Amino acid sequence: MDSQYGGGGGGQGQSAGRMLTITVSDPKKENEGINAYISYKVNTQTNLPEYSYGQFSVIRRYSDFVWLSEQLNKDVPGSIVPPLPEKAVVGRFSAEFVESRRRMLEKFLTRLSAHEELRESKYFKLFLQADDAGLVAAKAEQKADKEKKGGLASISSWFDDTMNSISISMNASEAKERSPADEKIEEVVAYINNLEVQMGNVAKHTSGLMKRNRELANGLFEFGLAFTLLGQMETDPLSTALTKLGHTADQLSLLVTEQVSKETAHFEEPMYDYIRVLGAVKAALAARARHKHALALACVDLENKKNLAAKLAGQPGKEERAALAEHAVEKAQGDVATARDAFEQVSARVIREMERFKREKANDMRRIVLDYTSMQIEHTKRVEHQWQALLPELEAISDSPDDYYARAPPPIPPPPPPPQPLGAANPEEDNLADNPDLVGV
């Protein structure tokens, strides 16, 4: 099965004869000015019965991919939703940027198609096959639901902000106990934080190396130009050798430029992509933390309601309030059960995702390093070939000055004086006439 996190070609999720292949192609600029954007064609080939056709295509823009990512995070909490490429303000319509984004969007869908749970989401299937009107209707429905739950959403957001800034005092025994899953998650968090630091260092130094290689390519071009001009000032065989050296340096400049392009696409880009993957891993861990906090709050609420019901029980004249309190306790117990089920489900999913992430990260890093090593070997061979082709030219230059001058072309004699017109005065005769002492010499 393809790695969820690796892979750069068309998305292929296949198992036991099930096939789902997704590619992203044909980026096209739409509109002009501030309303301009790039559209992409998303092509799908599948034999899965849940899709209406075996082969189909839709047009999507970057904001559609963002919408899909958001819905998957809500629909399958605790899963590692693959990262998307970042937004860009400057140069977002350049050919290089558009192609890079196309590759990363395709990788996003590749990873989704390889994920057992995410590829089963209704939002993923809707994204792949709905027409424009269907996608717009789905977005409008989601927006309406969000506005309908606006009050609850703001309360949930308040809880999230509060729990991220302070420690919750949890009175319930369930919240106080640390389960084996909690200990395992703490280990994962420490591992991810350290990995993020180390991956950041690798990405930073990789970018520095790419920059130096670009400078090397420019330097080789200038170096070759200088030797070519120098060769034009000499004579053979030195002229030929120097010109050949200039040509070799120019070819090396092209090789280094090509190598930088390959390393950028197959090494630098995957390194930064994995930093984004770590962000997706941390988002999955945060989803578990939110469900754990929700369970803690439900437990605290239940404890408070039990205390109130116990306080009202048996008090004369407060029978109605006591009955309401008991009813509230029953509801709170149901809330705790619901919150615990949700937390346990998300917690189990996060642990599965972490195990899968570690396993596939090792495979992906191995593949990336192997690809990089193979690129270096091939590049070194091509560079060596250029130098080997130059060597016979340099060896042909004689180290004897006599040989050099013997091979040099003879000096060009000065041009003869221009012919004198008939009847013109002879300068030599004029000189003799003007100097009588020279007469008869």
Give domain status of residue 422, yes or no: no
Give domain status of residue 336, yes or no: yes
Q: What is the three-class DSSP state of 257?
A: helix
Q: How confident is the model at residue 265, as a pLDDT?
A: 87
In a shared domain, residues 120 and 196: no
Give domain status of residue 156, yes or no: no
Query: Mind spelling out the 3-state secondary structure of 273-324?
Result: HHHHHHHHHHHHHHHHHHHHHHHHHHHHHHHHHHHHHHHHCCCCCCHHHHHH
Give domain status of residue 284, yes or no: yes
In a shared domain, residues 220 and 134: no
Mean pLDDT of 210-225: 95
Q: How confident is the model at residue 421, as a pLDDT?
A: 53
The residue range of the domain holding 334 is: 180-402
Kindly state the helix (H) or strand (E) to which residue 68 belongs, with its residue range: helix 62-75
Task: Give the lowest-confidence range in 60-74, 133-147, 247-261, 373-387.
Answer: 133-147
CB 127 within 8 A of CB 64: yes
For the cut 70, the answer to whether the pLDDT of residue 378 exceeds it is: yes
Give domain status of residue 430, yes or no: no
Nearest to 76 by CA among 314, 334, 283, 377: 283
In a shared domain, residues 87 and 210: no
User: Considering its fold, how many domains does the chain have in total?
Assistant: 2
Give domain status of residue 119, yes or no: yes
In a shared domain, residues 105 and 187: no
Angle CA 63–69–73, to nearest 5: 145
Q: What is the three-class DSSP state of 187?
A: helix
d(CA 346, CA 376): 43
Final residue of a structural domain among 131, 148, 165: 148
Q: What is the largest CA-CA distance in the chain?
A: 164
Give domain status of residue 440, yes or no: no
Final residue of a structural domain among 95, 130, 148: 148
Final residue of a structural domain among 93, 127, 148: 148
In a shared domain, residues 106 and 203: no
In a shared domain, residues 291 and 332: yes
Q: How confident is the model at residue 407, as a pLDDT?
A: 52
Q: How confident is the model at residue 5, as a pLDDT?
A: 58
Best mean pLDDT range from 143-147, 155-159, 165-169, 282-286: 282-286
pLDDT band with cut points at 50, 70 and 90 for residue 315: confident
| pLDDT tens sequence across 151-160 | 444 445 544 5
* Residues ≥6 apart with Cβ < 8 Å to 232: 239, 243
In a shared domain, residues 138 and 209: no
Q: How confident is the model at residue 173, as a pLDDT?
A: 43
d(CA 354, CA 349): 9
In a shared domain, residues 63 and 135: yes
Distances (CA, A) of 337 to 174, 286, 295, 306, 430: 12, 21, 9, 15, 131
Nearest to 344 by CA among 283, 300, 286, 288: 288
In a shared domain, residues 229 and 348: yes
Give domain status of residue 413, yes or no: no
In a shared domain, residues 140 and 189: no
In a shared domain, residues 24 and 79: yes
The per-residue b/e assignment along 101-113, b for 16 or more CB within 10 angstroms, e otherwise, is bbbbbbbbbbbbb
* Residues ≥6 apart with Cβ < 8 Å to 3: 111, 114, 360, 363, 364
The CATH number of the domain holding residue 294 is 1.20.1270.60
The CATH number of the domain holding residue 129 is 3.30.1520.10
In a shared domain, residues 144 and 239: no
